[in-house]
Structure 1
Amino acid sequence: MIIEFEGEIFRWEAREDSAWFFTSVPPELSEDIREIPRPYRGFGSVRVKARVGGSEWSTSIFPSSDGTYVLPLKKAVRDAEGLEDGGAVVVRLDVLDG
């Protein structure tokens, strides 16, 4: 399954010194991902190949408290693509689990 969406970049607020940044998969796409049969992984994670601009990497998305999945945006990708907290990001995900 391949999905594309635009999201907002946000910093993980659980710790003040956090340097973890994410974007949320929209609710309707998160629901589609949840419906894919797959083996359980730690924390409910789902393996994906992500693409933002010219950057592509393998990672996992994780369920959040609001029912959507969140995609971590590593520093190398944020730097290469000029991404900033509060900015917009266009994402393509190839869901590998399922």
Structure 2
Amino acid sequence: MRYDFEAEIWRSSGASGWFFATLPIEVAEGLRALHGPRAGFGSLRVRAHLAGVNWDTSVFPDARSGSFLLPLKAQVRERTGVTAGDRAAIRIDLAI
């Protein structure tokens, strides 16, 4: 299953300073519909696509937003030129 969406890139306030994109609620609802309760409690493997860069990762449930978070590691941010505050077109494909 493929999901295309736009999301703002943000940086966590924790010591690690990880960068994330929060998936839109409608994408999260689609993931939960496909995977049932498991999608609400655990991570889901995905292939992510951003500005011509593809990588394998997972999306993680986020109780605060009621959605899922897509982590953006430093290598991806450097290759794509995105940083906190940017809006980005993102695609995720669920790993089978």
TM-score by length of 2: 0.88
Matching of residue 82 in structure 1 with residue 81 in structure 2: yes
Contact 1:11–1:18 (CA<8 Å) still a contact in 2?
no
SS in 1 for 2:76: helix
Matching of residue 94 in structure 1 with residue 93 in structure 2: yes
How many residue pairs get aligned? The number is 94
Counterpart residue type for residue 26 of structure 1: P
Structure 1 or 2: larger helix share?
A: 2
User: Which structure 2 residues correspond to residues 1-98 of structure 1 after superposition, within 5 A?
Assistant: 1-13=1-13, 15=14, 17-37=15-35, 40=38, 44-65=42-63, 66-97=65-96
TM-score by length of 1: 0.87
Structure 1: any 5+ residue segments left out of the alignment? none
Contact 1:46–1:95 (CA<8 Å) still a contact in 2?
yes
Contact 1:23–1:72 (CA<8 Å) still a contact in 2?
yes
Instruction: Give me the CA root mean square deviation.
Output: 1.8
SS in 2 for 1:35: helix
